[in-house]
Structure formats: C-alpha cells, structure tokens
Amino acid sequence: MSVMLKVLAGQAAIGLVVAAAFWLFGGRVAGYSALLGSLACVLPNGFLALRLAVPRRDPGAKALLRAAWIGEIGKLALTVLIFSLVLALVRPLAGGPLFTGFIASQLMVFIAWLEDDEQKH
C-alpha cells in the first residue's frame, strides 16, 4: 500500500476512534461533531492524494509540481467549504470535539512522517 493510502487510512481510523471516544464519554452530539471534524481533514487530503497519484501525460517535474499546487489549493478550498457547511448547517454542534477530530486526524501526517524517518535510520 502506498504511503498516501496508509496516511489516509490512519487519518480515517484515528478519526473513528476519536469520534467513538467522544460518543461514549460525551454523548451523541460530541461523537458526530468529532466525526465531522475528522472528515473535514480526511476528504480534502484524499483530494490532494488523488491529484498526486493520477497519471499525467507529462511525467516531468513541472507537471507534478503543478498537480501538487492545484491539489493544495483544492485541499484548502475543500477544508474551508466543509467547515463552512458544518458550521452553517449542523445543529447542535460541539466545537471542541469538532476541532479535536480535525486535529487528531491531521496529526497522522506527522506520525507517518516520523515513522518513515525512523525506518530510514
């Protein structure tokens, strides 16, 4: 499995664990709020991963850099869109669990990076 898929799977898994913990200890609203926060991280990262993984006619570095830029801009736009929709449409919503789910899922990128760095040494 590629590194991108492992990171996305890890982000989704930690999001589910955090959401389950909030659901168990904080109730239904806290649980789905944490899950929505995690989705606000995983879905845009999936878009970026897809942009980088799709084969291009031009396999050069310039085309890859362009795909990365478009992927990052799309990732940022999707993150803003998802948070905007959640904050505007979901009631009731628990802010702490929402952002905890987002941050916990986002931290999986750093954990994967540290794990990869340890394997190289």
Q: What pLDDT sits at residue 93?
A: 98
Residue 1 has pLDDT above 60, yes or no: no
User: Whose CA is closest to 28, among 84, 117, 106, 92?
Assistant: 92
pLDDT digits (tens, 9 = 90+) for 44-78: 999 999 998 887 777 788 888 988 999 999 999 99
CB 13 within 8 A of CB 35: no
Q: What pLDDT sits at residue 70?
A: 93
> What pTM was computed for the model?
0.89
Kindly list the domain boundaries of the chain, sorted by start residue.
Answer: 3-109
Q: What pLDDT sits at residue 114?
A: 81
Mean local confidence (pLDDT), 81-97? 98
pLDDT digits (tens, 9 = 90+) for 8-51: 999 999 999 999 999 999 999 999 999 999 999 999 999 999 99
Cβ burial, residue 102 (10 Å; 0-12/13-18/19+): buried
Q: What pLDDT sits at residue 4?
A: 87
